[in-house]
A = this chain, B = another copy of it.
Amino acid sequence: MATAIQIPLQVRFGDIDAYGHVNNVVFLQYLEDARVQLTHTPLGDSAGPGTDATGTFQRLLDADTFTLVARHEIEYLHPIEFRPAPVFANIWVTRIGGSSFDFGCTVAERDGATVYAQASTAMVLVSRSTGRPVRLTDAQRHALATWLGDDVPFRRRPAAAAAVVPALEGVC
């Protein structure tokens, strides 16, 4: 996970549910904001040949293309109580396909001592005009490759899952 980008996330009072913990639904909003912050951060070393390092992954998408969430898998490990201090998302890439890719993400303490949840999210590039998947460009693949890391170490996932070939490409 050396490649993961770390993003602070403010916990809102409204994130807390009747049980006194951050609601399970809100964790998906944390994942979303980790993705959005990542794709709005200047590429820097993730910029490929001929790509503007001050640009962002978001700007590597042409106006007709947007990214869609195709699938989430999330495992809750510890509850989060309200705190004025932020929690941290660590986000990286676990798979790069033809027109799709997967993010791995943890919600954790800054030092990783406690991991509150871990998740995998499948993204697909889609054309606004045709509604069809769009192939990743070389510049996009280059950036994603610099963020590539290990699979999410799910604890409770059916054991054989790690060994099988991802099926997303054929579907999207």
A42 CB to nearest B CB, Å: 10
Q: How many copies does the complex hold?
A: 4
Cross-interface CB contact of A10 among B9, B26, B163, cutoff 8 Å: B9
A23 CB to nearest B CB, Å: 6
Pairwise interchain contact B32-A28, C-beta atoms closer than 8 A: no
Pairwise interchain contact B124-A168, C-beta atoms closer than 8 A: yes
B-chain residues with CB within 8 Å of residue A68 when the two chains form the complex: 76, 172
Ranked 3 nearest A-B pairs via Cβ: A161-B167, A160-B160, A158-B164
Pairwise interchain contact A24-B28, C-beta atoms closer than 8 A: yes
Pairwise interchain contact A12-B40, C-beta atoms closer than 8 A: no
A171, CB-defined interface residue at 8 Å? yes
B-chain residues with CB within 8 Å of residue A76 when the two chains form the complex: 68-71
B-chain residues with CB within 8 Å of residue A82 when the two chains form the complex: 18, 36
* Bound-state Cα–Cα, A124 to B168, Å: 10
A52 CB to nearest B CB, Å: 17
A153, CB-defined interface residue at 8 Å? no
Pairwise interchain contact A131-B172, C-beta atoms closer than 8 A: yes
